[in-house]
A and B are shown apart, each in its own frame.
Chain A
Amino acid sequence: MIEFRQVSKTYPDGTAAVEDFSLTVPSHTTTVLLGSSGCGKTTLLRMVNRMVEPTAGSVRIDDVDVATVRPVALRRSIGYVMQNSGLMPHRRVVEDIATVPRLNGVPRAEARRRAMELMEVVGLDPQLARRHPGQLSGGQQQRVGVARALADDPNILLMDEPFGAVDPLVRLELQRELRRLQDDLRKTIVFVTHDIDEALALGDQIVVLRPGGRTAQVGTPRELVEAPADDFVSRFLGLGEGRRKLRAAPRPGGGQVVTDDAGRPLGVLDDADGGPSADAGE
């Protein structure tokens, strides 16, 4: 469990990135920090592994104040995935994935073996192991980033817009894979994004942030969509502009065609109650 206790971050020039922010991130779940740029979400994320020190308040992991843990040791115990993968241009994929186990004293051969395993876990062709990151596609690089973060089996995974820089199709695929991984691994994930669809797809708990790191609303995806706390959240989710207002109309072949507010088709709804022609479309 990760707890933010009334943390603030004020920079020497007086700008407040985060003000009096409190949050509990339950273990083994995914919490998404959702907000537009400049809302302090990355600052909050980096407070967990002490890449940013709060100017007030504390961050606690399983009731231990992170300020009491050596930063280097702390970071080696927490997975971190960043946008643009943050891979080492001079290291081969397998070496990069093995970084944290190596830093934690795992022998080279063992670390490599684990790295190869992880490549498989995140869906990478083992033949890419000897490549340098410059020779991979954006999606492959992000997979390597995820594998590196998981390499020493940390309890906590911090993800800073990890899929922000890849094209939409690859992003959807990576999101799907992350959900699959999380079903197996059950890490405590803090995931930063400005993409509402990504937040709804991945979060068990979503924190909508206003500028200055103030919480607008905390809830499950369903709670947010069902009962947005105010106009800000509603606008952020796109509820006001009809993006999430759906209509259903009967389909000749059975079931319902679902469209958005503007009438663009989104998909087909089967008659869930086993209506007369539920399987007609199959």
Chain B
Amino acid sequence: MEWILENLPHILELTLDHLLLSAPAVLAAFLLSLPLGRLAVRLPRLREPLVGGIGLLYAIPSLPLFIVLPLILGTSIREPLNAVVALTLFGLALMVRSAADAFGSVEEDVRLAAVAVGHSAGGRFLTVELPLAGPALLAGLRVVSVSTISLVSVSAVLGVTSLGSLFTDGFERGIVAAIVAGIVTTAALALVLDLLLVALGRVLMPWRRPVPRRSASRSAEKGAA
């Protein structure tokens, strides 16, 4: 405990590093998954190769990927960009399937109605399909967010600073408090981001909240009268 208090500024700094590695990766994985997931629904034949193929990325062991990527990207192994790209690929591997399922869950009737009232293809995607796929997208995004935050730690082995550095340092120097602080802070960060995503979902998708039963039935009576 004493160690933690003494090193609090350091831990906070590492938390920020951790966040700066994971947040861009989660966001990039999310944004990339949208067109891919939509494409998978539009072209059912492409679905399995696309979703399954990208999903296989997750089978690549993380450490080798962190090491191989610099060769492809021309970055140095300790550069944060290297870690962000690797994390994005892992996030994408999870998120593409969620996105394909999410867009597939938009009811055909609603999609047809959106066509019938005269939405353009782009307008339909942005104003109808995306919001309606939202709940399922959010579910996938939460998984990606949590898994990315835990995965960031691995990059510490290569010397990219993050909360993972608390494990590597703590292990080398035999400071148990550092290891415990690393675990607790990583979990706390994952939890906070998860809660933020849930809150964001509530704000952006208000139609999912059930109305209080009493007021719903009261207005229904009025409507019928």
Q: Which residues of A contact B (CB under 8 A)?
A: 49, 51, 72-77, 80, 82-91, 99-100, 103, 124-125, 127-128, 131-132, 134-137, 139-140, 148
Contact = CB atoms under 8 A, between A and B. Distances in A.
A191 B73 CA distance: 60
Contacts of A124: 223
Contact of B207 (A49, A75, A132): A132
* Closest A-B pairs by Cβ, 7 of them: A86-B113, A76-B118, A75-B118, A80-B116, A132-B207, A125-B223, A90-B131
Interface of B: 109-110, 112-120, 123, 128, 131-132, 134, 205, 207, 211, 216, 219-220, 222-225
- Tell me which of B114, B120, B131, B132 has the highest count of chain A C-beta atoms within 10 A of its own C-beta: B120
21 contacts: A75-B118, A80-B117, A82-B109, A85-B113, A86-B112, A86-B113, A86-B116, A88-B114, A90-B131, A90-B207, A103-B119, A125-B223, A127-B219, A128-B222, A131-B211, A131-B219, A132-B207, A135-B216, A135-B219, A137-B223, A140-B224
- Tell me which of A51, A131, A136 has the highest count of chain B C-beta atoms within 10 A of its own C-beta: A131
A137 B221 CA distance: 10
Contacts of B115: 51, 75
B116 A136 contact: no
Contact of B113 (A82, A90, A128): A82
Contacts of A87: 110, 113
A140 B223 contact: yes
Contacts of B223: 124-125, 127-128, 136-137, 140
B205 A90 contact: yes
A132 to B, nearest CB: 4
A134 B116 contact: no
A128 B224 CA distance: 11
A100 B116 CA distance: 10
B119 to A, nearest CB: 7
